[in-house]
Structure 1
Amino acid sequence: MLDYSLRDWKARAAALTLRGKAFIDGQFVDALSGETFDDINPATGAVLTAVAACDTQDVDRAVAAGRRAFEAGHWSRMAPGDRKAVLLKLADLIRSNLEEMALLDSLDMGKTITDAVTVDAPGSAHFFQWYAEAIDKIYDEVAPTGPGDLALVRRVPLGVVGAVTPWNFPLDMATWKAAAALAAGNSVVLKPAEQSPLSALRLAELAAEAGVPDGVFNVVPGYGHTAGKALGLHMDVDCLAFTGSTAIGKMFMQYSGQSNLKQVWPETGGKSPNIVFADCDNLDAAADMAAFGIFFNQGEVCSANSRLYVERSIKAEFMAKLIQRAEAMQPGDPLDPASRMGAIVDEKQTQGILGFIEHGKNSANLVTGGNRVLVGGKGCFVQPTIFDDVTQDNALARDEIFGPVLSVIAFDSEDDAVRMANDSIYGLAASVWTDNLSCACRVADRLRVGTVSVNTVDALSAQTPFGGMKQSGFGRDLSLHSLDKYTALKTTWIKYQA
């Protein structure tokens, strides 16, 4: 395995060619308006490049390109094995350009280069490969009928899929949507977050190099209230897959009703609980993962374990371990492989996090962190922050902060822990730490979330669906189940002479 700690990442970043134009119908193009916006590095405040500010006209031409490609059938009616070969080549191209893809995400949104090059970029290649390998192994059905009737039930691609993705995992979230949608035979129009469009634009270029036909994969960078809204309201988009905030997810549901009743698959906010029982024998492992669960990616994770419930009898011991780990995870230059945390994505998000911290200083017990810091005199950096003695009705325990802020609450019984864990508008994920198998199964059964991780945090794989309940939405990414979003069941009923 390569030792990425030896790379001169700053020199490699300086040598990058950044693509800022939209990618429509196989070409990089300017927005029709000629408008651009600045893409800013949150670690330094420097402008990385100007990016095309796409709006309704650009979305129209991207959707039209996607529709033409779909109707032409070069991709939609391509044999599954041939689509597989193209997507496998795309996976290989991502691996060949792994360091570039990692740098784009690190520069764009502030994540550490170590995480980007060992987790995000390899994950993108893996997910494209997984869906490529899956697509020629999914069988259609023959329904049970009487003599003289043959009922065929097939999964067919929907047509043009719109995808609106967030800034916290730019490449991976684009991949989670596009890999499954493309594997199923759809055309895709992707609107990446305006804070982090660079890796999506490069991904589209690699897809074309791999052999994805013109018009099948389009990327329209722009703002949510222009390009995103235009996708949501478009009369010729058959499906809209969204990952982001609950408030915006609700808006896309409204856009569907206001337009063509397109399918909308929202994966939205979270406030995931992490429950540590006194019978957990390995408190060091639990503390390691509790810190990881909230401070990884600067806490900018929809399934971040941001509420920690600890059984009262072990709380003091556990808190000491956790504080030690938090204080060892101070933010640093994202391009320094030694940095444990990077920058917050932008100034607006930084100010929002600091507002929650100020509220917490007046309503709970700040035990570590709580400050904005600068690295090299610059940047949007916030210390890993832990509040103890948080009440269940405190905004710290109820609202999605999307930053490195952990709320700690003691509990006295299993029922207490479950009641408080479920007392949330969200239901994305949860973690449970116990060495009692019966307790683990009981609690997992009672938690109203999409994924329960036992003796770990935030477990996911290509093989398992990711998504939530309640106001965390009902979309599912990953696994074969995600193909349900991008296909329709079509019955062909044949009568024959028996």
Structure 2
Amino acid sequence: MQAWKLGPTLVTGNVVVMKVAEQTPLTSFYVANFMKEAGFPPGVINIVPGFGPTAGAAIASHEDVDKVAFTGSTEVGHFIQVAAGSNNLKRVTLELGRKRPNIIMMDADMDWAVEQATLPCSSTKKEEIFGPVMQILKFKTIEEVVGRVNNSKYGLAVAAFTKDLDKVNYLSQALQAGTLCVNCYGVVGAQSPLAATRCQSVTEN
């Protein structure tokens, strides 16, 4: 996640003030030390430890910050958007909510689907839970599963496992999600927009 934020920012000639999660600051300091050794000038990469209501709020509301990119909860995203809008109207990119349904059709390669879809998944039906929790629901029709997936305020990403191209095309139009991964999970290149469809091993009937 740190590399995902740092890379595009630095290659476009910007400096970074990164407020890292208070639960895991040490890995960020470790990466920053490597970047210092690589020769980045002082002040280009700034790692700020601290809590959201203090350190995070200061960044979101600071007049000299032109852009805020945040990954985390929807609740905090609301605070950031308000803070950014009430000052210098800075640009904001928010990646909020971790609802990532995995739709596994009967014709899918089950071993591959289990390997790709269930291990990294942590989601419940409608609540955002940051932990190793998974809910498995059966469905009879593709319309039924689309209705379930869309019946949530979260729409970050969905994965679908099937060998049927018609089903893929239907899901890509019917699902309300920023990203649809097909027969894989989380395989989106850094250069791709968030709304991307990736397909692998899908054949027409």
Return the TM-score normalized by structure 1.
Answer: 0.38
Q: Which residue of 2 aligns with 1:159?
A: none
- Cα pair distance change 1:467/1:224, threshold 3 Å: farther
- Cα pair distance change 1:414/1:467, threshold 3 Å: closer
- What is the alpha-carbon distance in structure 2 between the residues aligned to residue 204 and residue 457 of structure 1? 29
- What is the alpha-carbon distance in structure 2 between the residues aligned to residue 260 and residue 178 of structure 1? 23
- What is the alpha-carbon distance in structure 1 between the residues aligned to residue 32 and residue 193 of structure 2? 25
What's the secondary structure of 1:186's corresponding residue? coil
Answering whether residue 182 of structure 2 is matched by residue 421 of structure 1, we say no
Answering whether residue 171 of structure 2 is matched by residue 443 of structure 1, we say yes
> Residue 115 of structure 2 aligns to which amino acid in structure 1?
D
- What is the alpha-carbon distance in structure 1 between the residues aligned to residue 179 and residue 98 of structure 2? 12
Among residues 396, 399, 405, which one is paired with 2:127 in the alignment?
399
- What is the alpha-carbon distance in structure 2 between the residues aligned to residue 204 and residue 278 of structure 1? 46
Kept in 2: contact 1:245–1:269 (CA 8 A): yes
Among residues 16, 26, 32, which one is paired with 1:188 in the alignment?
16
The structure with the largest strand share of the pair is 1
What's the secondary structure of 2:120's corresponding residue? helix
> Residue 413 of structure 1 aligns to which amino acid in structure 2?
T
What's the secondary structure of 2:125's corresponding residue? helix
- What is the alpha-carbon distance in structure 1 between the residues aligned to residue 184 and residue 92 of structure 2? 31
- 1:256-299 Cα shifts (integer Å, max 9, x gaps): 1221111111111121111122222x2222222232232xxxx4
Kept in 2: contact 1:242–1:266 (CA 8 A): yes
Answering whether residue 36 of structure 2 is matched by residue 202 of structure 1, we say no
Return the TM-score normalized by structure 2.
Answer: 0.88
Q: Which residue of 2 aligns with 1:260?
A: 88
- 1:165-204 Cα shifts (integer Å, max 9, x gaps): xxxxxxxx22111111111111111111111111222222
Kept in 2: contact 1:428–1:467 (CA 8 A): no
> Residue 57 of structure 2 aligns to which amino acid in structure 1?
K
Q: Which runs of 5+ in 1 are unaligned?
A: 1-172, 300-305, 307-395, 469-498
- 1:2-61 Cα shifts (integer Å, max 9, x gaps): xxxxxxxxxxxxxxxxxxxxxxxxxxxxxxxxxxxxxxxxxxxxxxxxxxxxxxxxxxxx
> Residue 154 of structure 2 aligns to which amino acid in structure 1?
Y
> Residue 186 of structure 1 aligns to which amino acid in structure 2?
N
Alignment length (residue pairs): 196
Moved over 6 A (4+): none
Q: Spell out the pairing of 1:365-376 with structure 2 (5 A cutoff).
A: none
- What is the alpha-carbon distance in structure 2 between the residues aligned to residue 198 and residue 450 of structure 1? 31
- 1:328-386 Cα shifts (integer Å, max 9, x gaps): xxxxxxxxxxxxxxxxxxxxxxxxxxxxxxxxxxxxxxxxxxxxxxxxxxxxxxxxxxx
Deviation at 1:467, TM superposition (A): 6.7
What's the secondary structure of 1:427's corresponding residue? coil
Q: Spell out the pairing of 1:458-469 with structure 2 (5 A cutoff).
A: 458-466=186-194
- Identity percentage of aligned residues: 41
> Residue 417 of structure 1 aligns to which amino acid in structure 2?
V
The structure with the largest helix share of the pair is 1
Q: Which runs of 5+ in 2 are unaligned?
A: 197-205
What's the secondary structure of 1:266's corresponding residue? strand
> Residue 399 of structure 1 aligns to which amino acid in structure 2?
E
Deviation at 1:461, TM superposition (A): 2.5
Identify the structure with bigger relative contact order (alpha carbons < 8 Å, sequence gap 6+).
1
- Cα pair distance change 1:467/1:194, threshold 3 Å: farther
> Residue 162 of structure 2 aligns to which amino acid in structure 1?
T
